[in-house]
């Protein structure tokens, strides 16, 4: 049996029974018509995401017959939409496949650490709207984390150290708000090139970062990103926002997505009678150049709106916990079981963890929920999982270090 796989009983996906599906099915046409009447039609590719979602798991749109000769049992399963925005079924399948692929075939037996990087609010909008900018910021982040391990390796007499990491791009927060942040699975150590051609690189475990190390890393990331933003015209010389970001093609001529995304980042509503207001709750800048990083303890530090956490470490022997962590990093943005219908027709989305201000759930009208779903749809060709270092497909060392090469 595959290392990360588990036995299961097949049950056909029935999306039409979920409240999320019923809400989209019942209110999509009105939502699209309202945006069109405002002169801000939803872009074709986002509308397609919704319409394909409404076909996902529905037998009338196509299915395959499955027969088990061992049990002499036959069933059918409907085609999936393969959506990348908010379909919990397709996200869940992709999450499981990614987890099994990484644990069974890619990640060598070694310790790993999770780094989580969150960004200032305005930068979250720019990163969500501009895939090229996101790629550059991820490269900066990966480079600064890698430098920490390379410097450790050099102190231990290891030259030409080869780090490795995998970035999972999460585009929303726990309150369905647009909150692009990075979950990075970092090899807690490095590989060193073999002395003889044809042999495999040697693996070296290293110590993880201290609280002060995390503060240093996030400070370097913040300074490099701010420098990049100034060079690209996102910030002026005083560090003030310049609200004219270059965006991907899908945003350039479409105010609907830009408004939905910008409002979602701020936890606000973009359209309808409550436009500009904050999402209803139940319960109660980038800073200056000379700002010093604030160490929050337990390998967590923040500066200029950038926050880096690195408290989670997985030992080499704990592959089950590694699989659980990967599933968490690749999880769907919407949890269907947390969505419920109120007596007045509003929708309540319960948070997994209570916010520091006491908020335990948010209230949304059906139209407001669809607005939030719009902001979750990524730009075309935007990668959700990014492999770097020895795990990159471009690395000549990858075939020699991945788990399936270890036998």
CA–chain centroid gap for 24, Å, is 23
pLDDT averaged over the chain?
A: 85
**Predicted confidence (pLDDT) per residue in 68-78, tens digit:** 887 777 888 88
pLDDT of res. 252: 46
Whether residue 309 contacts residue 300, with contact meaning beta carbons closer than 8 Å, is answered with yes
- Beta strands 112-118; 164-172: pairing state: unpaired
What SS3 class is residue 71? coil
Q: Which residues of 94-129 are buried (b: 16+ CB within 10 A; e: fewer)?
A: bbbebbbebbbebbbebbbbbbbbbbbbbbbbbbbb
pLDDT of res. 258: 53
Mean per-residue pLDDT, 365-385: 90
Q: What stretch of H or E contains 52? A: helix 44-53
pLDDT of res. 259: 56
CA count, 13 A, side-chain hemisphere, 144: 21
Whether residue 335 contacts residue 352, with contact meaning beta carbons closer than 8 Å, is answered with yes
> Measuring CA to CA, which residue among 305, 302, 321, 332 is closest to residue 114?
321
- Give the lowest-confidence range in 51-55, 112-116, 285-289, 348-352: 285-289
Q: What stretch of H or E contains 257? A: helix 255-265
Whether residue 98 contacts residue 161, with contact meaning beta carbons closer than 8 Å, is answered with no
pLDDT band of 249, cuts 50, 70, 90: very low
The Cα diameter of the chain in Å comes to 72
**Predicted confidence (pLDDT) per residue in 156-203, tens digit:** 999 889 999 999 999 988 888 888 999 999 999 999 988 766 688 999
- Beta strands 306-314; 112-118: pairing state: antiparallel
Q: Does 284 score more than 70 pLDDT?
A: no
**Predicted confidence (pLDDT) per residue in 224-239, tens digit:** 999 998 888 777 766 6
Whether residue 112 contacts residue 185, with contact meaning beta carbons closer than 8 Å, is answered with yes
pLDDT band of 250, cuts 50, 70, 90: very low
**Predicted confidence (pLDDT) per residue in 308-327, tens digit:** 999 999 999 999 999 999 99
């Amino acid at each position: 049996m595959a290392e990360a796989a588990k036995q299961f009983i097949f049950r056909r996906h029935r999306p039409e029974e979920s409240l999320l599906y019923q809400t989209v099915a019942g209110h999509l046409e009105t939502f699209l018509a309202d945006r069109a009447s405002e002169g801000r039609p939803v872009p074709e590719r986002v509308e397609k995401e919704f319409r394909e979602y409404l076909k996902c798991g529905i037998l009338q749109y196509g299915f395959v017959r499955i027969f088990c000769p061992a049990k002499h049992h036959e069933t059918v399963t409907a085609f999936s939409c393969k959506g990348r925005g908010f379909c919990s079924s397709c996200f869940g399948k992709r999450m499981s496949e990614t987890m099994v692929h990484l644990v069974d075939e890619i990640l060598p037996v070694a310790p790993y650490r999770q780094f989580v990087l969150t960004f200032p609010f305005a930068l979250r909008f720019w990163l969500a709207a501009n895939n090229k900018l996101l790629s550059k910021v991820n490269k900066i982040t990966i480079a600064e984390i890698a430098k920490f391990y390379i410097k450790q390796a050099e102190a231990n007499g290891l030259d030409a150290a080869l780090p490795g990491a995998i970035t999972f791009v999460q585009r929303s927060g726990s309150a369905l708000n647009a909150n692009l942040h990075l979950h990075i699975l970092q090899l807690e150590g490095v590989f060193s090139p073999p002395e003889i051609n044809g042999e495999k690189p040697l693996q070296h475990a290293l110590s993880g970062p201290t609280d002060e190390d995390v503060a240093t890393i996030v400070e370097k990331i913040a300074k490099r990103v701010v420098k990049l933003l100034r060079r690209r015209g996102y910030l002026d010389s005083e560090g003030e926002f310049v609200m004219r970001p270059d965006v991907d093609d899908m945003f350039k001529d479409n105010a609907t997505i830009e408004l939905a995304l910008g409002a979602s980042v701020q936890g606000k509503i973009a359209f309808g009678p409550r436009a500009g207001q904050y999402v209803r709750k139940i319960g109660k800048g980038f800073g200056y150049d000379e700002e010093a990083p604030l160490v929050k303890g337990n390998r967590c530090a923040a500066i200029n709106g950038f926050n880096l956490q690195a408290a989670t470490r997985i030992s080499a022997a704990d592959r089950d916990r590694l699989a659980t962590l990967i599933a968490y990093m690749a999880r769907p943005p919407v949890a269907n079981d947390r969505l419920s219908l109120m007596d007045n027709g509003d929708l309540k989305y319960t948070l997994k963890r209570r916010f520091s201000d006491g908020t335990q759930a948010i209230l949304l009208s059906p139209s407001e929920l669809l607005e939030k779903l719009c902001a979750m749809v990524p730009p075309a060709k935007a990668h959700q999982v990014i492999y770097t270092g020895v795990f990159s497909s471009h690395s000549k060392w990858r075939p020699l270090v991945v788990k399936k090469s270890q036998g």
